Amino acid sequence: MHPILFIVFLPLAAALIAGLGGPWIGKTAAKLITTGALFAGALLSWPIFFEYIAGNGQPMVVPVLDWIHSGTMTVDWALRVDSLTAVMLVVVTTVSSLVHLYSWGYMEEDPGQARFFAYLSLFSFAMLMLVTADSLIQMFFGWEGVGLASYLLIGFWYYKPSANAAALKAFVVNRVGDFGFSLGIFGTFLVFGTVSIPAILGAAPGMAGSTIGFAGMRVDTMTLLCLLLFVGAMGKSAQLPLHTWLPDAMEGPTPVSALIHAATMVTAGVFMVCRLSPMFEAAPIAMNVVTWVGAITCIFAATIGCAQNDIKRVIAYSTCSQLGYMFFAAGVGAYGAAMFHLFTHAFFKALLFLGAGSVIHAMHHEQDMRYYGALRKEIPITFWVMVIGTLAITGVGLPGLGFAGFWSKDAIIESAWASGSVAGTMAFWLGVLAALLTSFYSWRLIFLTFYGDARWAASEHIQHALHREHDDPGEEHGDSAHDPRPVPTGTGGYHPHESPLTILVPIALLALGALAAGQLFHNIFVDAERAPEFWRQSIAFSQHLAHAAHEAPLWVKLSPTIVMLIGLWIAWNNYIRRPGAADAFVGYFPGVYRFVANKWYFDELYDVIFVRPALWLGRLFWRGGDEGTIDRFGPHGFAYAVGIGNRIAYRFQSGYLYSYALVMLLGLIGAASWAIWWAQ
């Protein structure tokens, strides 16, 4: 048996045992089984990855079971392994196993632990099915499976209305994406006569330039298919305008945010575009759209990240923005760079989230950074790993030596410039600008949390802790108020404690990844000579673009570093040197601040143009359509007419309308029998 079978199906088995058997086997057994399954998966995945790095791995498909056979449409359950899958395998199993371990500490007081671990393992299974898919429909299975797990985990604390609302929103917005994905699969089957990914990719170049009818229009075939599929990717990867669910998804427990809403699930859209890259290569217009959407999301989310006070929401918008980088990399044809950033981002973003979780743990479930400050000395290990994560995301490094984000983000920015297209050049400038904002909001987070004066006393959570009221572990709060007033300082006598080892060990391991993932692996992902040997045919790697990116002018290569330093300086100036400067800025430009802090009012807009009209139409169709029109002129009108007749025949009426009708029915059948016999 191929190890991939164990990697994929052990988490499923563990999820079923922990989920269904939880009440009987107890929470410790459930936690052991699920965590064990994921660690086994991780130990099996890394050798596969190294095999492909060494060039010994061949693309292969492990069949499992027949699935849907309908005429020429055949889909089987099968697991595909190639270089691209191998990358995703290590990302998913590594982050997932560390998050499982982390949850031992983080969820220690929660009564629903067996359920939590079962959901986590179920998610890992679905994600692994997604990345090993050999057909579009199995990819869709994984796609929807991770959506379900995400829904269940966002709503894990199901007694909180805000968690339920966020879970519902995540599922529905993703379904809007799936609407496009489904139509894309239908169209792909119509054009290629198959849903097998290798077969489609083989035939895609031949379809370039063909046209097809769609909803009354005649359009370029490959552009249509790629754009429909990309709508699915936009939903899953929270790209504008389908991004609104991701920040709300922070209602879920923090380990979930790290695993699903940072490292793995949200990158599924990027993975899909890379997996189908030969299709996108045949659709230049679709590539332009991908570039624009990625670049605009990248800068848009970064602006919002600068104005959030909730530590998790800052990181959530940061994720959204980093996904934008990956998309515009894919859009300009630098699929290797997109996958590279996906790979490094998984480590440093999971690190940042888990580090934030450690801070939240220490601060008794307080999530608002305005009530943090001066935590550097109290929780030093958390502080240092968060700094490593920040150095990684802001891309600190010198030529030849750097943190993970330095390698991957620079590769993307250089590729965008090297692509030479209008969209690519725009993406380059927007990407550089977003790098400045990334540096600003990331350092702002560090400075607000770990430096300055302690502002803990004003926090309700801390007050609860001080008065020995035991908080519910589910009491993670979003920042609903955007009140710019300064918060009074003082510790209130509270002493934050460093987190237990189960929390610190996973963070430390991820910190290793954030330190070294770029340094160690940049060659195989993006190097013009080395990378084609690694990727082989699994993505449409452009050697030409990789060369051009390598030979980009010095100012292009330096620009991310320069803006990173500028962002750092602004953050330092506003939050360390002159702590009142940020508030003063908000005072000067209240409109700008409100617009950005309220997330550009997307939620309000969608409420007005989608949610309310849908409910209004539903009521209209129900009251006005069904009851007011169809029933009124249909059966009720008939009943009224019969009623008039009844008054005449009142004496003959038995009083029970239904028995009366029954006699009519029997009579009808009798008449029918006679009539058919007669017609012979």
Partner 1 sequence: MSSLPLLTILIAVPLIAGALCLFVRDEGARWIALIGTLIAFAISIYLWVAFDPNGAQWQFVEKVPIGGGVSWAMGIDGIALMLIQLTAFLMPICILASWRSIQSRVPEYMAVFMLMETLMLGVFTAQDLFLFYVFFEGGLIPMYLIIGIWGGVERIKASYKFFLYTFLGSVLMLIAMIYMVGTAGTTSIPALMAYDFPVEAQKWLWLAFLASFAVKLPMWPVHTWLPDAHVQAPTAGSVILAGVLLKLGGYGFIRFSLPMFPEASYIFIPFIFALSGIAVVYTSLVALVQRDMKKLIAYSSVAHMAFVTFGLFAMNRQGIEGAMIVMLSHGLVSGALFLVVGVIYDRMHTREIAVYGGLSNNMPGYALLFMLFSMASVGLPGTSGFVGEFLALMGTYQASTWGAIAGTTGIILSACYMLWLYWRICFGEARTAEAAAMPDLSMREWWVLGPIALAVLWMGIYPESFIRPMRNDVGRLMTRLEHVAPAGDSQLKLAGPQLKTIDAQDHGAHH
- Restricted to residues 58-117, the positions that interact with partner 1 (CB under 8 A) are 65-73, 77
Q: What's the min distance (Å) between Cβ of 77 and partner 1? A: 8
Token readout for 505 is 């060990």
Q: What's the min distance (Å) between Cβ of 352 and partner 1? A: 29
Q: Which residue has the tokens 């979780």?
A: 357
Stretch that binds partner 1, among 93-101, 205-213, 505-513, 569-577 (CB under 8 A): 205-213
| E strand residue ranges, 60-192 | 60-70, 73-81
Outline where 282-334 has alpha helix (H). 284-305, 311-331
Instruction: Tell me whether residue 26 or residue 635 sits nearer to partner 1 (CB atom).
Output: 635
Distance CA 533, CA 190 (A): 34
Q: What's the min distance (Å) between Cβ of 245 and partner 1? A: 12
Contact of 518 with 405, CB cutoff 8 Å: yes
Site string for partner 1, 524-563 (x = CB under 8 A): ----------------------------------------
Q: What's the min distance (Å) between Cβ of 138 and partner 1? A: 8
Q: Does residue 421 belong to the site contacting partner 1 (CB under 8 A)?
A: no
Token readout for 374 is 């001066």
Stretch that binds partner 1, among 43-51, 90-98, 183-191, 462-470 (CB under 8 A): 183-191
Instruction: Tell me whether residue 562 or residue 672 sits nearer to partner 1 (CB atom).
Output: 672
The 10 Å Cβ neighbour count of residue 469 is 8
Q: What's the min distance (Å) between Cβ of 70 and partner 1? A: 5
Instruction: Tell me whether residue 99 or residue 249 sits nearer to partner 1 (CB atom).
Output: 249
Instruction: Tell me whether residue 555 or residue 656 sits nearer to partner 1 (CB atom).
Output: 656
Pick one of 10, 107, 185, 332: the residue that binds partner 1 (CB under 8 A): 185
Q: Does residue 635 belong to the site contacting partner 1 (CB under 8 A)?
A: yes
Q: Does residue 641 belong to the site contacting partner 1 (CB under 8 A)?
A: no
Contact of 166 with 107, CB cutoff 8 Å: no
Q: Which residues contact 312 (CB under 8 A, 6 or more apart)?
A: 250, 254, 257, 353, 356, 360, 367, 476
Spell out the long-range contacts of 31-37 with Cβ–Cβ below 8 A and sequence spacing 24 or more.
Answer: 31/100, 31/103, 31/104, 31/113, 31/114, 31/117, 34/100, 34/117, 34/118, 34/120, 34/121, 35/97, 35/100, 35/101, 35/104, 35/117, 37/10, 37/11, 37/13, 37/121
Token readout for 298 is 């990248």
Q: Does residue 207 belong to the site contacting partner 1 (CB under 8 A)?
A: yes
Q: Is the peptide bond before 590 cis (omega within 30 degrees of 0)?
A: no
Q: Does residue 214 belong to the site contacting partner 1 (CB under 8 A)?
A: yes
Q: How far is CA 419 from CA 116, 335, 565, in A?
A: 45, 12, 26
455 by DSSP, 3-state: which? Answer: strand
Backbone angles phi, psi at 535, to 5 degrees: -70, -30
Touching partner 1, residues 661-680 (CB under 8 A): 661-662, 664-666, 668-669, 671-673, 675-680
Pick one of 61, 62, 212, 576: the residue that binds partner 1 (CB under 8 A): 212
State the amino acid at position 342 in one-letter form.
L
Backbone angles phi, psi at 673, to 5 degrees: -60, -45
Pick one of 1, 209, 648, 654: the residue that binds partner 1 (CB under 8 A): 209
Q: What's the min distance (Å) between Cβ of 432 and partner 1? A: 25
Outline where 527-610 has alpha helix (H). 531-535, 543-550, 554-572, 581-588, 590-597, 602-606
Q: What's the min distance (Å) between Cβ of 675 and partner 1? A: 5
* Of 250, 315, 327, residue with least CA distance to 291: 327
Q: What's the min distance (Å) between Cβ of 145 and partner 1? A: 7
Q: Does residue 251 belong to the site contacting partner 1 (CB under 8 A)?
A: no
Stretch that binds partner 1, among 188-196, 434-442, 478-486, 601-609 (CB under 8 A): 188-196
Distance CA 226, CA 430 (A): 24
Pick one of 36, 59, 187, 484: the residue that binds partner 1 (CB under 8 A): 187
Distance CA 6, CA 335 (A): 29
Distance CA 223, CA 251 (A): 37
Instruction: Tell me whether residue 486 or residue 637 sits nearer to partner 1 (CB atom).
Output: 637
Q: What's the min distance (Å) between Cβ of 582 and partner 1? A: 38
Touching partner 1, residues 476-515 (CB under 8 A): none
Instruction: Tell me whether residue 56 or residue 70 sits nearer to partner 1 (CB atom).
Output: 70
Q: What's the min distance (Å) between Cβ of 183 and partner 1? A: 6
Touching partner 1, residues 274-313 (CB under 8 A): 285, 288
Task: Report the chain's C-alpha Rg in angstroms.
Answer: 29
Q: Does residue 26 belong to the site contacting partner 1 (CB under 8 A)?
A: no
Backbone angles phi, psi at 70, to 5 degrees: -135, 100
Q: What's the min distance (Å) between Cβ of 172 and partner 1? A: 5
Longest dimension (CA), the chain: 102
Site string for partner 1, 128-167 (x = CB under 8 A): ---------x--xx--xx--x--x---x--xx-x--x--x
CA 56 to chain centroid: 32
Stretch that binds partner 1, among 178-186, 237-245, 481-489, 508-516 (CB under 8 A): 178-186
Binding residues for partner 1, how many (CB under 8 A)? 89
Q: Which residue has the tokens 């107890």?
A: 26
Pick one of 486, 553, 618, 628: the residue that binds partner 1 (CB under 8 A): 618
Instruction: Tell me whether residue 199 or residue 509 sits nearer to partner 1 (CB atom).
Output: 199
Q: What's the min distance (Å) between Cβ of 267 and partner 1? A: 20
Distance CA 646, CA 357 (A): 74
